Amino acid sequence: MKIGFIGLGIMGKPMAKNLLKAGYSLVVNDINKEAVAEVVASGATEAASAKEVAQQSDVVITMLPNSPHVQTVVLGEGGVIEGAKEGLIVVDMSSISPIVSREVAAELVKKGVVMLDAPVSGGEPKAIDGTLAIMVGGPGETFKVVEPILQVMGSSVTLVGEIGSGNTTKLANQIMVAANIAGMSEALVLATKANVDPEKVFKAIRGGLAGSTVLDAKAPLVLEGNFKPGFRIDLHIKDLQNAIDTASSVKTPTPISNSVIEMMRALSSDGKGSDDHGGLVQWYEKEAGIKVRK
Amino acid sequence: MKIGFIGLGIMGKPMAKNLLKAGYSLVVNDINKEAVAEVVASGATEAASAKEVAQQSDVVITMLPNSPHVQTVVLGEGGVIEGAKEGLIVVDMSSISPIVSREVAAELVKKGVVMLDAPVSGGEPKAIDGTLAIMVGGPGETFKVVEPILQVMGSSVTLVGEIGSGNTTKLANQIMVAANIAGMSEALVLATKANVDPEKVFKAIRGGLAGSTVLDAKAPLVLEGNFKPGFRIDLHIKDLQNAIDTASSVKTPTPISNSVIEMMRALSSDGKGSDDHGGLVQWYEKEAGIKVRK
């Protein structure tokens, strides 16, 4: 089975390399020629366009920044759809709007092409280790065909529902992470401003109902003022905007996401968009005029 | 060492009984005569007022609903302060405003009485089991004196700082719990409204960065529509109000707490104030016109 891989960024490049290591035959494309050269050196072949990738593949994986890139690369001029033969499977692993996932899939199906949306969670280290969490939407029989491929890249691969469900699940994930980071930040800045050692607060409460993966992973970094990414604030803004847009389309409220995206936008305007999302605490620190430090 | 115990409610009664079981001599007082009779039957003696409790005690523990009750019982007519001899230790285990903790302690110190604030986390089951998390503020030497008493009631007893720090830590805890419940609710209602099975979302993401004690403890109840308390929404409103008041006094922002308290107040007005705080999801469900169910 020949796999096409389009999008060799921070996430896509190690994912493609893991597929090569697992013995899959890969044809790749990216606008970044350096990344292409690196993956070709690992055993892939290059195609000149998304269309040519599709012509040579049984399964095309796309790993792109956001919805418009997926629309262009899959449906645009010289895109996947132009090179697709009937029976091709497209697995879009980008984190995009589930509405766009459904729209792109609906266009592909007219050419006999089935699409899955399969966004990932875990960031660059887990992309390198092949231990991503992969949330998949689409038909069960198509999922079964590509499941072994996905398991090369992820340690948890879950079919959650029909097309778009993967991205909806990813958005649910990102809403919870945003809320947990904001709650932690609000609490630690209040404690610090009220003259209580934030490290003692962290240690006193982490074992109780306030405990979370975010608290364990991010509080120690907040206490050091270490906001090296990790997962960038600008990417979390993108995900929250997709969540808010999706919520708007299905008419459900998102007051917490609305609050957090405002804080993140203010930080991005302040030049901190490339900080880790744990750096959200800096919004509170600036407002309160103190820093959370041990 | 003779211990006075004032406030035999849902939390105070099992805490007092655990002290009796551990062999401490207890003198108790409460306006609820039934609760007093039950604890007296377990071996305590009754005193007619807070003043009389203080007259007979080396350490007085108070476990009361909120700040005004502590002010009245400790500083009011017939209160602890009237019966206190120099050297008495007051341990207020109520969850109240840290500002009020400091004010009450400042009055007591004029009579040679040292106060600790030592609010708890964990709810009725952990009060019964003696496994509460206890967050303590006050002088280290006083903490050392009462630490063995606190360890009868809690499995985690942490001195976090000076007087008021216990309640500040508790408020930090409650802010994080509120944020995590709201994030979970916002995410699960969005997923449900977007036609994705919320149970599959829960299972797909609980092991990643969105994971939390709140998610593991509350999502299964949300999926069953089970909002039996647990910890009541009306009590969480009290805690968030204390957090917001404290934040206001030290000039730090609380946008997430402000959002969540609004949702909780709306639910309380709707007759749901006695539901578990996991029932916050009902605010989203009502707005979105659906229910999160498996």
Give the minimum alpha-carbon distance from A16 to chain B in angstroms, rounded to a whole number.
22
Q: Which of B177, B209, B251 sits opposite A213 (nearest CB)?
A: B209
* B173 occurs within a structural domain: yes
Question: Is residue B277 one of the residues assigned to a domain?
Answer: yes
For the residues of A86-129, what is the DSSP string, one character each? TT-EEEE-S---HHHHHHHHHHHHTTT-EEEE--EESHHHHHHH
pLDDT at B128: 97
Average pLDDT of span A107-135: 96
- The beta-carbon neighbor of A284 closest among B177, B211, B253 is B253
Domains in chain B, number: 2
Q: How far is B16 from chain A (nearest CA, A)?
A: 22
User: B268 and B224: one domain?
Assistant: yes
- pLDDT at site B294: 81
Whole-angstrom Cα distance, residue A20 to residue A233?
31
Task: For residues A176 and A262, state if they share a domain.
Answer: yes
A248 shares a domain with A220: yes
* CB distance A219 to B167 below 8 Å: no
pLDDT in tens, A80-109: 999 999 999 999 999 999 999 999 999 999
Backbone angles phi, psi at B101, to 5 degrees: -55, -45
Same domain assignment for residues A15 and A151: yes
Residue A70's nearest CA partner among A28, A45, A99 is A99
A199 belongs to a structural domain:
yes
Q: Are A61 and A10 within one domain?
A: yes
Interface test with B, best of A134, A205, A235 (most B CBs within 10 A): A205
What number of C-beta contacts closer than 8 Å exist between A and B?
268
Chain A contacts of B284, Cβ < 8 Å?
252-253
In the numeric block, which tokens belong to residue B248? 């206001």
| In a shared domain, residues B108 and B29 | yes
Is residue B6 domain-shared with residue B150, that is, in the same domain? yes
Residue B62: half-sphere exposure toward Cβ, Cα within 13 Å: 32
In the prediction, which pLDDT does B210 show? 96
Catalytic annotation, residues of B: 170
pLDDT of residue A294 exceeding 90, the answer is no
- Nearest CA to A57 out of A23, A37, A80, A34 is that of A80
Give the integer Cα–Cα distance in Å for A158 and B204. 6
- Partners of A158 on chain B (C-beta within 8 Å) are 200, 203-204
Q: Which of A163, A193, A213 is the last residue of a domain?
A: A163
Which residues are paired to B212 by β-bridges?
A212
**Is residue A280 in some structural domain?**
yes
DSSP 8-state secondary structure symbol assigned to residue A208: S
**Tens-place pLDDT, residues A139-168:** 999 999 999 999 999 999 999 999 999 999
Give the dihedral of Cα atoms B94, B96, B102, B107; nearest 10 deg: -60
Cβ burial, residue B77 (10 Å; 0-12/13-18/19+): exposed
Q: Which is it for strands B59-62 and B114-117: parallel, antiparallel or unpaired?
A: unpaired
Do A229 and B211 touch, CB atoms closer than 8 A?
A: no
**Which amino acid is it at B262?**
E
List Cα–Cα distances, A67 to A2, A62, A96, B218, in angstroms.
Answer: 25, 11, 5, 33
Catalytic residue among A13, A17, A126, A170: A170
Q: Is residue A258 part of a domain?
A: yes
Pick from A73-77, A243-247, B40-44, B206-210: least confident: B206-210
Q: CB of A204 within 8 Å of any CB in chain B?
A: yes
User: Could you write out the DSSP letters of every residue in B67-108?
Assistant: HHHHIIIIISTT-HHHHPPTT-EEEE-S---HHHHHHHHHHH
Nearest to A26 by CA among A12, A35, A39: A39
Domain boundary among A163, A180, A197: A163
Please report where in the chains the tokens 């705080």 appear, as a residue. B277
Q: Which of A26, A102, A34, A97 is nearest to A239 (CA)?
A: A97
CATH code, domain with B284: 1.10.1040.10
Check whether residue B11 and residue B70 sit in a common domain: yes
| Sign of the alpha-carbon dihedral angle for B224, B229, B234, B237 | negative
CA-nearest residue to A178 within chain B is: B183
Interface of B with A in 141-160 (CB under 8 A): 156, 158, 160
Residues A198, A268 share a domain:
yes
Q: Are B97 and B205 within one domain?
A: no
Do the Cβ atoms of A98 and B203 come within 8 Å?
no
Please judge whether B190 and A246 are an interchain contact, meaning their C-beta atoms are less than 8 angstroms apart: yes
**Structure confidence at residue B123 (pLDDT):** 86
Distance CA A52, CA A90 (A): 14
* Residues A189, B252: C-beta atoms closer than 8 Å: yes
- Count of other CB atoms within 10 angstroms of residue A34: 9
Domain final residue, candidates B163, B191, B222:
B163
Distance between CA atoms of residues B272 and B15, nearest Å: 28
- B6 with B148, same domain: the answer is yes
Burial call A224-260: b when 16+ CB within 10 Å, e when fewer: eeebebbbbbbbbbbbbbbbbbbbeebebbbbbbbbb
What is the per-residue burial (b if ≥16 Cβ within 10 Å, else e) of A183-201? bbbbbbbbbbbbebbbbbb
Confidence (pTM): 0.95
Q: State whether A122 and A176 are in the same domain.
A: no
Give the pLDDT confidence score for residue A230 in this predicted structure: 87
Residues 52-111 of chain B with CB under 8 A from chain A are: 98
Q: Report whether B285 contacts B291 (CB < 8 A).
A: yes
Q: Is residue A127 part of a domain?
A: yes
Of B171, B209, B213, nearest to A177 by CB-CB distance is B209
Cβ–Cβ of A173/B165 closer than 8 Å? Answer: no
Q: What is the pLDDT of residue A240?
A: 98
Question: Would you mind telling me the total number of residues written for chain B in this entry?
Answer: 294
Look at residue A186 and tell me if it is in a domain: yes
Report the C-alpha gap between B30 and B65 in whole angstroms. Answer: 12
Question: Is A76 buried (19+), middle (13-18) or exposed (0-12) by CB count in 10 A?
Answer: middle
In a domain, residue A293? The reply is no
Q: Are B173 and A210 a contacting pair at CB < 8 A?
A: yes
**pLDDT score, position A21:** 98
CA distance A260 to chain B (A): 8
Residues of A in contact with B204 (CB under 8 A): 133, 135, 156, 158, 160, 169
Residues B176, A187: C-beta atoms closer than 8 Å: yes
Q: Residue B92 corresponds to which tokens in the numbers above?
A: 């207020």
Of B168, B214, B259, nearest to A256 by CB-CB distance is B259
Look up the domain containing B88 and give its range: 2-163
Note whether A172 contacts B193, CB cutoff 8 Å. Answer: no
Nearest residue to B204 (alpha-carbon basis) of A97, A165, A70, A71: A165
CATH number of domain containing A154: 3.40.50.720
Which residues of chain B have a pLDDT value below 50?
A: none
Tell me what ipTM this predicted complex has. 0.95
DSSP structure class, residue B253? -
- Answer yes or no: A110 catalytic: no
